[in-house]
Amino acid sequence: MTVRRPFPQRILIYGVYGAGKSTLALELSRRLGLPWQPVDELTWEPGWKEVPMPVQRDRIAAICRKKSWILDGAYKDWLDLPLASADLVIGLDFSRGLTLRRLLRRTARLISTGEVICNGNRETLGSALSSESIILWHFASYGRKRRRMRRWAADSPGPQVLLFRTPAELDGWLAELSPVSSEGRAPS
């Protein structure tokens, strides 16, 4: 007989730009019935105006006090908040080539369609070529985020860490994950 235990109710998805954090957050929210809070909606106002850091911290702290949540990322200035209350960290430790291709493809699609991303913001060719480009952020943060995820997976002082190095590994885990039952449990 398989013993079932409560599935984590507070999940932080962490990875580099283009890893698929938001896509995974949406899928987990759908499968598990947990509320997903897109980080970009908390950190960017219309016109790509960055929310002041104390306000970002307050917003994230309010979410982290809730019983259940999924966050699709964490900025270094408030990473401590979800790490202190998460039950599970999912690290998407995918290769630079894969994540960069995904990021470039997504950016090109968003520019060409004019799709609204968060709080009325849109990607433009100007933003993609600016000094604040998400593509440049990818290059600047890739190594640091990857080392951080690997350190957590090797010796997490806090929540459980699942580290996926390929999309196939992640897909395999998702295939084994069934929806949560009415008792708030998933297969162990």
Q: What is the per-residue pLDDT across 69-97, written as a single tens digit (0 to 9) for each?
A: 999 999 999 999 999 999 999 999 999 99
Q: What is residue 158's predicted lDDT score, i.e. its pLDDT?
A: 82
What are the tokens at 30?
A: 């759908």
What gap in Å lies between CA 187 and CA 135, rounded to an integer?
A: 38
- Confidence at residue 184, expressed as pLDDT on a 0 to 100 scale: 46
pLDDT at 90: 97
| CA atoms of 17 and 140, how far apart (whole Å) | 10
Residue 58's pLDDT is what? 97
pLDDT of residue 178: 66
pLDDT the model gives residue 5: 54
The pLDDT value recorded for residue 156 is: 75
Residue with tokens 């507070």: 10
d(CA 175, CA 184): 19
User: Exposed (0-12), middle (13-18) or buried (19+): which is 144, by Cβ within 10 Å?
Assistant: exposed
Residues 6+ positions from 46 with CB-CB distance below 8 Å: 119, 120, 121
DSSP conformation class of 18: T
- pTM for the whole structure: 0.89
In which residue ranges of the chain is pLDDT below 70?
A: 1-5, 178-188
- Which residue type sits at 49? K
